[in-house]
Structure 1
């Protein structure tokens, strides 16, 4: 695919310097694989990792991935963004996104989907401007780095207001719903499920994953449940039979917002199944 599907739920990171892991990541149920040149790659391996990725992209034109480059504040940015030239790079993840100018620099190479990673105070201060930049597909929340930058303690709920802001900004900018940050403890499946459900409840559309073990949990959580699908079908069926009359389901009035919600559930179910 040349673009990242708007129904994507799971975004799985794989280190750029571990080319032997690319195929394994692509064989998982992850909706998107992110080849990571940033946090996952040691400083001394940045250049060799990029070279290895370039070779792999050339040798596997049928495989489509997105790439997290190094930020514009680093010495590797100018070379990393050249990866946008590869047609099988579907999108670029821009870490520590703080300026629309950085997005424009990437787009000067090729018009490509951009996922700005909001993970600094400056990035958050400019997030509304960033969200409206050309070719921004969706915002991503670098929750771990942001928490560190803000000297914040605690867990998910301490960042609740910032997550709400990302959802609101995305809606106002008319872009896809945002992608939530990672759950560091990948062995705790219940924690992954809990944080994914919290993100879904807030209006996020997907979640970053650091281990294949997280992928199925994220996919399942962001997919409509059988109960939700059945409810949506009942709503649409009752409305179709009502001939314009006021109707209810299980004692609750069915109005336009309810109908729209039911249609959205069925549309989403069709996309992810």
Structure 2
């Protein structure tokens, strides 16, 4: 996922625009973007919309996500009844602080899915946006096979403690911690949103910094950010050429180890090269579709 566009579930007039956008995924937000008193109506809007989409029509090219409220909230039961739907691929749990929360969510999702007759297990995206969640990120990352990615939420993580949310050194320090926790469990990591929709230069610099640490995509809070995220998180022509050259060199080598431009090609470098090739194939196919 290069780009994930947030859409307030209370704004049904934006639903179809989001689905026809260039984003790789759309996240219908029932949490922070919706006032508590508006959530019942937002759930109604979203439920009706999901029922109207021809089954799997959008999921072929775009992942649909629902960001629910916390497991402890009064909204959780109603949120899950809407979110567990054949047209939804991923459920996003905010403010994850423990592995037990992911395990509980997976169990609740699967019970509802079984009652609804859904055949495929829904995936889970966990958002790390509290100090406790960051401290427990390693055990969270290994909590469930349904957990497919972790993402950061810098606003909730930093602002309550008077920490500058847009300082690059701070963001990189935290990104690296989460990346290492996720990497041990082969999980993807997705980046937090850039708060200023008018600051394209800031968005680009922030997204590039995240990519440099192995993040595969970024949340977008405005459609204008989508094209920037897609461009930055798409492998460059140079990266693809280098990956193909590394793979070719390794295949043609008569020995267990080989060299490319003076550097030894070992298993990690080769795996990275294959990942780049698979990534470009995936996104080129999306653009064709």
- TM-score, normalised by the number of residues in structure 2: 0.84
Whether contact under 8 Å (2:246, 2:265) holds in the other structure is: no
Q: Tell me, in whole angstroms, the C-alpha distance in 1 between the residues paired with 2:256 and 2:181.
A: 37
Pairwise CA distance, 1:120 = 1.2
Say whether 1:150 aligns with 2:149: no
Match of 1:113 among 109, 123, 130: 123
Question: Could you say which residue in structure 2 is the equivalent of 1:95?
Answer: 94
Moved more, 25-34 or 53-62: 53-62
Moved more, 237-246 or 197-206: 237-246
Match of 2:15 among 22, 25, 32: 22
Provide Cα deviations, 1:144-190, integer angstroms capped at 9, x if missing partner. Answer: 11012333125232132321111111112232x21110001122222
- TM-score, normalised by the number of residues in structure 1: 0.88
Whether contact under 8 Å (1:14, 1:21) holds in the other structure is: yes
Provide Cα deviations, 1:61-114, integer angstroms capped at 9, x if missing partner. Answer: 334421001122322112111124311111111111124244243343234211
Structure 1 70/157 Cα, relative in aligned 2: closer, same or farther at 3 Å? Answer: same
Whether contact under 8 Å (1:83, 1:89) holds in the other structure is: no
Structure 1 regions of 5+ residues with no counterpart? 1-7
Match of 1:57 among 47, 50, 64: 50
RMSD after superposition: 2.0
Say whether 1:187 aligns with 2:198: yes
Pairwise CA distance, 1:242 = 4.3
Q: Tell me, in whole angstroms, the C-alpha distance in 2 between the residues paired with 1:66 and 1:208.
A: 12
Question: Could you say which residue in structure 1 is the equivalent of 2:183?
Answer: 171
Q: Tell me, in whole angstroms, the C-alpha distance in 1 between the residues paired with 2:21 and 2:193.
A: 17
Match of 1:225 among 236, 248, 253: 236
Q: Tell me, in whole angstroms, the C-alpha distance in 2 between the residues paired with 1:108 and 1:159.
A: 37
Pairwise CA distance, 1:238 = 3.7
Say whether 1:159 aligns with 2:171: yes
How many residue pairs are counted as aligned between the two chains?
264
Structure 1 243/90 Cα, relative in aligned 2: closer, same or farther at 3 Å? Answer: same
Question: Could you say which residue in structure 2 is the equivalent of 1:85?
Answer: 84
Structure 2 regions of 5+ residues with no counterpart? 114-120, 285-289
Q: Tell me, in whole angstroms, the C-alpha distance in 2 between the residues paired with 1:36 and 1:21.
A: 12
Pairwise CA distance, 1:247 = 5.6
Question: Could you say which residue in structure 1 is the equivalent of 2:222?
Answer: 211
